[in-house]
A and B are shown apart, each in its own frame.
Chain A
Amino acid sequence: MIRALLVLVALATSARAERMMVADDAPRTTWNRLGTRIGFGSVPVDDAPMTTMSIAVSIDRPLLGTWRVLGEYEHVWIGPRDLEAHAMTGVASLADSGHRVHVGLRRRLVEKSWGQRNLAVFVDGEAGGGAMLVDRESGALALPHAFLGVRAGFALEQRQLWDYEIVLRGLALPEGAGALFGIGLVWGE
């Protein structure tokens, strides 16, 4: 897991997105993005795997060149992993709920576009940190985390931007590794 994270960090910092562009025209990097996401994941708590489900709102803004800064808020439901119960009752299988925030940096790694950039597919890399706060019956839970991940999807671009993206994120937590998988829709102006 740590090796994979290091490889992704190396890729994110060394890859020059411009070189990897297939299309001739350069991508617009000044979109102010606002998005929402449904997420599923796992975090270790008290030496036990816990399942998370979440809804999130995210913003990201241009920072410098192709680097962007992102901030996210998630409302999280969390409970002990029980795949059969999750499949049958969804969020109702999770006992507690709380909040999670993420702050990080994001950069385009690969992109291919068609039709004067009306349609593009992309892969972005991202890294950052955050924290989760859950008020459980057994006591409050506060968990910091670092994350490294990729976002892949397609974008429709006209005067505005619309992205459909899949987020896959590895989390490093005090008790071990976690993960987040999300499906999001993002609007850019």
Chain B
Amino acid sequence: MHPVIVPRLGSVRCVRTLVRSLLVLVFLARAVSADVGAGLVAQATRYDDRPNRNIGAAVELSIDRARWQYLAELAIAGASFGPDFADGVAGTMYRGGVGVRHIARRFSVQDRLDFELGFEALVALQDIEWSSGERDVRPELDAGFSWNFVFFRKIAYRTSIRAFFTPSPSSTIACRGSCPKRDEITSGYMIVTGLVW
């Protein structure tokens, strides 16, 4: 168990930030007839021959225009290296992005249940604060699809599955020995899943 990071992950500051973000998003959503989503985010990739996973919470605000959704996504996650997530936590990732989702297909069952297929792409910025005090700020590009199960056209359960691309981190905590070159782009797998209303 990491003595420094775990208290930070569970810190009141993180929870407050998340709750505040969610409340602001709900307020904005009501004002502009938009959707709000909240759920879990998980990323998996590999740096310097070590597994890296970032797992945390995410909120999304999306404005709908016909079959297009313009969205903003915020996330807070623990950044971990190694096979055991909890033991490998080495920093906290703050992440924000904007993007677009196209609802390409919809299957409706008597207006009570819709199965939707969405294709989505986002650009995001990661700010990873490592336990060593170092910091990595890097861009992220996501592309993927979402499976949406919409109940009574009011509430939905959405799972977004994406490939994401980002430069390797340059902090010494993220790499052993010589760090990968900054321009080295790695590809990872990402899931955002949760409720939308």
Binding site for B on A (CB under 8 A): 34-36, 38, 53, 55, 57, 75, 77, 85, 88-95, 97, 156, 158, 160-162, 185, 187, 189
Contacts and interface: CB of A to CB of B under 8 A. Distances in A.
Contacts of A90: 44, 189
B44 A89 contact: yes
A120 to B, nearest CB: 14
B17 interface: no
B167 interface: no
Chain B: number of interface residues, binned into ranges: 20 to 34
B97 interface: no
A27 to B, nearest CB: 17
Contacts of B130: none
Q: Interface centre among A55, A57, A156, by most B CB within 10 Å?
A: A55
Contact of A89 (B83, B107, B117): B83
10 interchain residue pairs of minimum CB distance = A187-B105, A92-B51, A91-B189, A162-B107, A97-B187, A92-B44, A89-B51, A91-B44, A36-B145, A88-B83
B83 A55 contact: no
Nearest to A94: B46
B105 A189 contact: yes
A14 B106 CA distance: 35
Interface of B: 44-46, 49, 51-53, 83-84, 104-109, 115, 117, 119, 144-145, 147, 161-163, 187-189
Contacts of A75: 163, 187
A162 B115 contact: yes
A38 B161 contact: yes
Contact of A92 (B52, B104, B107): B52
A158 B108 CA distance: 8
A78 to B, nearest CB: 11
B77 to A, nearest CB: 14
Nearest to B45: A92
Nearest to A97: B187
A94 B189 CA distance: 11
